A and B are shown apart, each in its own frame.
Chain A
């Protein structure tokens, strides 16, 4: 960016030639460093991809993959049949927890963020301060007391035990308020009020529509958070038919010492478990970048 501007500064404390050299060098250096960083992030995923096509012997023996020992189909078949197809039940559970949880959570967050942005009421900023403090509470420190509370209410080991805590995301409320400030012109709401629309109607058919990009962003991040959550289901669930994928794979991995044939199941199951999120992040790039920007600027 500065190569055209460099001649402007005639004399520097250091001589010109040694300064120019790193400049020309760094084009390869910059992109080379980025390629190295990318290799670091992608190679473990590449290993997962090839490993999921290996059978137990090739996986443990560390043999490389070839056309002769391509067992992805066999692994998928084993995945579908082991434990009466429990893996895909876990998969559906994860979709349920993450899909419904993230949808409701995004709606709740946008509602609250919208209210914080649009209305004035006594103690508003104090209340918002409490919400922001909620961002700092370590969630795993809450999981144990939540488990004990849930066991008093007899909802331990039910879908509710995992779903209800997943609906709370103070950071989502903060993001929603930031998005409302960015996307909602006051005049539009005014016009709707003039037309006699009720406040809730305005939220539902105008506010929510205009902050839809923010809604999708919060949904995406919450979906990821629930899908990736391990501690909460570990604490709350003991019936393996209610497990999400993360917890199911954990219990299978614990068996690999005694039963090495679980290795390919864990590896192939892991690959399938990351596919939905990888696809979502590739397709919805605009939305997660928007979320990170809104979170970073303030």
Chain B
């Protein structure tokens, strides 16, 4: 694709001038011949091999079913084209639909909680009153250094009566806490613990990038700290909030590690508790690759649809707000002057 740069042209060293980015000065093209190809090829090859081809292969596999000829043992398997049959089987399976229902409940609880918490902590850290900002940032970020599987293990132990000091302390006060009877909040808590600090750092970085004059103007206009946070700071870092929201939605759909660990101890978490667990069990417990591929494709399509909705919805709001926001400060000023 980038081989098209090999337009023969004046190859003098002086021709190698021109802006570094974007400006395709025709005289410049001969000098970098080959270099962009060499630099881009490793990534593009691996991207093709590990992203594009698997997507295509998943779609292909999802259209076939394996049929055993003969009596099972050692009998040759033949692939039979079944069209959308695997999709119908996946969507017709109550376990698969339950997985989506569990994920939806998880998203409804987890996303507002985590986004709210990380925004709140970022705003607190951004306020002039906070002390030891470097320490807090590091300490809050640290769970990101813990592999998801270990976070899930540690929290599972902290949920287990007998092992957990927290549960034991609660039980000794007479409150009978049964975490494993309520797997959804238990899993949400693990995810909140893992991701709040990470996203807080993103929000904090964006807050620090807000020009100081803007905040001073807000103060001059009489906005208190809460008003500044909600009417100035949060709207200004909306791009970051949208990006984090998008990645959180995509990540939530792939929920796997935490429920797999809880599956061992919480009876409510079945082996097909999320769509991803369903695909895994279809492939490795039932050896039904067509069904596994179809459910992976459905999951990816849902992720694509949700990303589209998130970006579309927020972009629409962006445009509306952008039109509105400019007159706002003056409007406010006349109000206070009155």
Contact = CB atoms under 8 A, between A and B. Distances in A.
- Residues of A contacting B: mostly: helix
A165 B50 contact: yes
A123 B22 CA distance: 11
A43 to B, nearest CB: 9
A38 B147 contact: no
A159 B301 CA distance: 30
Interface residues of A, number: 114
Interface stretch (A71-79, A82-90, A209-217, A273-281): A273-281
A149 B146 contact: no
A219 interface: no
B184 interface: no
Q: Among A19, A141, A181, which residue has the most Cβ atoms of chain B within 10 A?
A: A141
A109 B46 CA distance: 11
A30 B153 contact: no
B268 to A, nearest CB: 17
Interface in A255-282: 257, 263, 266-267, 270, 273-274, 277-278, 280-282
Contacts, number: 320
Given A40-B193, A270-B153, A273-B147, A34 B125 contact: yes
A249 B296 contact: no
A118 B21 contact: yes
Contacts of B143: 41, 44-45
B329 interface: no
A154 interface: no
Contacts of A141: 58, 254, 276, 279, 296-297, 299-300, 303
A9 B124 contact: no
Given A139-B254, A230-B149, A292-B202, A47 B307 contact: no
Q: Among A5, A8, A227, A231, which residue has the most Cβ atoms of chain B within 10 A?
A: A231
A31 B131 CA distance: 7
A146 B50 contact: yes
B119 interface: no
B80 to A, nearest CB: 17
B35 A203 contact: yes
Nearest to B298: A141
A281 B299 contact: no
Given A112-B40, A289-B201, A136 B128 contact: no
A61 B163 CA distance: 6
Contacts of B151: 44
B220 A253 contact: no
A298 B279 CA distance: 35
A231 B168 CA distance: 33
B195 to A, nearest CB: 11
Interface string B115-142: 0010011001101111100101111111
Nearest to A193: B16
Contacts of A48: 154
A285 B126 CA distance: 18
Contacts of A281: 138, 141-142, 144-145
A292 B138 CA distance: 13
Interface stretch (B81-89, B105-113, B239-247, B312-320): B239-247
B289 interface: yes
Nearest to A134: B51
A61 B145 CA distance: 29
A41 B147 contact: no
Given A41-B143, A142-B54, A199 B35 contact: yes
Contact of B127 (A19, A30, A147, A293): A30
A15 interface: no
Interface stretch (B1-9, B71-79, B90-98, B173-181): B1-9
Contacts of A124: 22
B147 A230 contact: yes
A65 to B, nearest CB: 10
Interface string A47-66: 11001000000011110100
Contact of A270 (B20, B57, B150, B279): B150
A166 to B, nearest CB: 9
B243 to A, nearest CB: 7
19 contacts: A5-B219, A33-B121, A47-B158, A108-B43, A111-B38, A111-B39, A111-B42, A115-B35, A120-B24, A122-B24, A138-B254, A140-B254, A142-B55, A145-B58, A167-B46, A199-B31, A235-B284, A253-B261, A274-B147
Interface of A: 1-2, 5-6, 8-9, 11-12, 19, 23, 26-27, 30-31, 33-34, 37-38, 40-42, 44-45, 47-48, 51, 59-62, 64, 108-109, 111-112, 114-124, 127, 131, 134, 136-142, 144-149, 164-165, 167-168, 170, 173, 181, 184, 186, 189-190, 193-194, 196, 198-200, 203, 224, 227-228, 230-231, 235, 245-247, 249-250, 253-254, 257, 263, 266-267, 270, 273-274, 277-278, 280-282, 285, 288-289, 292-293, 295-298
